[in-house]
Amino acid sequence: MEEPQTQTSSPHVLLFPAPVQGHINVTLKLAELLSLSSIRVTFVTTEHSHRKLTLHSDVLRRFSRFPAFQFRTISDGLPVSHPRTFSHHLPEIINSFISFTKPLFRDLLISGHFGSDLTCLILDGFFSFLVDIGDDSFKVPIFCFRTFGACSSWAILSVPNLIKQGQLPIKGEEEMDRILDNVPGMENLLRCRDLPGFCRAADPNNDPILQFIVSMFIRSTKFDALIINTFEDLEGPILSNIRTLCPKIYSIGPLHALLNTKLSHKTESLNNLWEVDRSCLAWLDNQWPGSVIYVSFGSITVMGNRELMEFWHGLVNSGRNFLWAIRPELVKGKNGEIEIPAELEEGTKQRGCLVGWAPQEKVLSHEAVGAFLTHSGWNSTLESIVAGKPMICWSYAFDQQVNSRFLSNVWKLGLDMKDLCDRETVAKMVNDVMVNRKEEFMRSAAEMASLASRSVNPGGSSYLNFDCLIEDIRILSQ
């Protein structure tokens, strides 16, 4: 596809993702899609994320083909040496954003630092607090970009009602399997353990993380529109529920697949905050089709050494080949120094390939990969759906508990091992998905992959919704 000629009179959109891998990755895809549609884009990231992104990826070169695209950075208010690990420092990161970055962002917007001709802001749904609704200093429409799916978003939006009805707090482990029958559209589906991880708080009314996340989700429904990385054939009924709160919704996912359609070829994601180890692709080339389980828990999950060992034993004991992306900070207190345990050395050498950070989209579309053991992050889920690979879900936090419940019980795309972490379960589920129930899961995965593909191809729902989004942004700029 020829790159578009962007005029200075074209609409100008500011994008600002939350500073985590999954959000930055998918927001850059949205930025690329907007740029391909001759929209001028200013992409704001924190200085810290920008440093990591430009160190480990070719993102600057990739966007240099759009002369009207610009990166801008802003401080998150934390010292350079701060580790910024989401799993450990979330309250600190949020507080710094509220007290430091929010007023700075407002000043920079008002002073025209990002351009004096902004058509609209597209803010990450997580960071919708960055702008006060109704602030008269700048009258630019604000769209929310929701990088979570509709099912988890709707569950989060339902939390205040669950608290009001006395369904929360969860009173203990014995209540975890209680079914919640009063989340509209999810009747008889969600158990307490399937609610977003933060709903396990002992005192929901006073839990700062729960209160922050729920208020961000409610607030983002008040913006001018919601852009969401999902597709109607996957989450149509739940999207209808969200439309009762926020009528203007553009469901335009899976975004990475829509980008491939618009570029007319499969493009590799270059938006990595860690160095990608491509050696695993050559390893995969030497494996039989469908014989490998790919294992990755995303960019935020952390686990203890016990869990690491249970997964490791389970994978080796399963007798299947495995490719495992062990991110440097995955295991608490290890900081990247993970040694293969002596008793697993032989099995790992025979059947395993370990990398720090994998080229995930490429890995998932490799014919050697038969299934994905995942933490059920939304990007990973969509990437696996597009690649037609069944999943085993070990959810960790945020939206992942809801995603994994939908994946196993609604979409029937795999198994949910939520809250279990023992070697027997790991080995059994790997074999159930890859051998014993392979046909059943492969069939539903292929069907869903075909629906995903249809949605992003010309005439499909996401394709058309994206065109509407572009048209509406153009109208705003006139």
Q: Give the interface with ligand UDP as residue ranges (CB under 6 A).
A: 20-22, 25, 272, 296, 298-300, 325, 357-358, 360-361, 377-380, 383
Q: Which is nearer to ligand UDP, 192 or 300 (CB)?
A: 300
Residue 313 among the catalytic residues: no
Q: Which one is catalytic: 12, 50, 76, 124?
A: 124
Q: Does residue 188 contact residue 409 with C-beta atoms inside 8 Å?
A: no
Minimum distance from residue 278 beta carbon to ligand UDP (Å): 11
Q: Which is nearer to ligand UDP, 33 or 120 (CB)?
A: 33
Q: Does residue 414 contact residue 421 with C-beta atoms inside 8 Å?
A: no
Minimum distance from residue 82 beta carbon to ligand UDP (Å): 19
Residues 6+ apart with CB under 8 A from 129: 97, 98, 102, 215, 216, 219
Q: Which is nearer to ligand UDP, 284 or 473 (CB)?
A: 284
**C-alpha distances in angstroms, 405 versus 169, 183, 189, 267, 410?**
20, 14, 8, 30, 7
Q: Which is nearer to ligand UDP, 398 or 463 (CB)?
A: 398
Q: Which is nearer to ligand UDP, 149 or 460 (CB)?
A: 149
Minimum distance from residue 380 beta carbon to ligand UDP (Å): 3
Secondary structure E strands in 54-197: 70-74, 120-124, 142-146
- DSSP three-state, residue 323: strand
Q: Which is nearer to ligand UDP, 251 or 299 (CB)?
A: 299
Exposure class string for 294-333: b at 16+ Cβ within 10 A, else e: bbbbbbbbbbeeebbbbbbbbbbbbebbbbbbbbebbbee
Token pair recorded at residue 299: 């960019």
Residue 124 among the catalytic residues: yes
Task: To the nearest 10°, report the CA torsion of 196, 201, 207, 211.
Answer: 20
Minimum distance from residue 198 beta carbon to ligand UDP (Å): 14
Shortest Cβ contact with ligand UDP: which residue? 377
Residues 6+ apart with CB under 8 A from 2: none
Minimum distance from residue 376 beta carbon to ligand UDP (Å): 8
Q: Does residue 248 contact residue 143 with C-beta atoms inside 8 Å?
A: no
Q: Which one is catalytic: 23, 256, 313, 375?
A: 23
Minimum distance from residue 191 beta carbon to ligand UDP (Å): 22
**C-alpha distances in angstroms, 30 versus 14, 124, 254, 267?**
11, 12, 11, 14
Q: Does residue 477 contact residue 118 with C-beta atoms inside 8 Å?
A: no
Cite the active site residues: 23, 124
